[in-house]
Amino acid sequence: MLPPMTLEEAQTVALQALGHLAGDPDALSRFLALTGADPGEVATRARNGDRALLSAVLEHYLNFEPDLLAFCSATGLKPTLPAIAAQVLSGEGRQ
């Protein structure tokens, strides 16, 4: 069973992940290449709380464990929280 997480908490985790991603030019380049997005589009969608973008950022980390662990270490988050947040943002988890 997943621990409870609100949509706002999930968005906060995702925005932290996006901020961390933005601070790593190599990881950001990989993310942009994989999603086909440009930095301006990402910034606009993030400001608007676009759940699909925020979920994609978390999925990006979940698909590459070294980056996930680096993000969690830098933010002090448990490595399970990004997965829970991604589920909430995709509508699959608790809200």
Percent of the chain residues past pLDDT 90, beyond the cut: 56
Q: Give 18's pLDDT tier (boundaries 50, 70, 90).
A: very high
Mean pLDDT score, 60-70:
92
- pTM for the full model? 0.85
52 pLDDT higher than 70: yes
Domains of the chain by residue range: 12-89
Nearest to 17 by CA among 52, 70, 62, 57: 57
Asked whether the CA dihedral 16, 86, 60, 78 is positive or negative, the reply is positive
How much is the pLDDT for 20?
A: 94
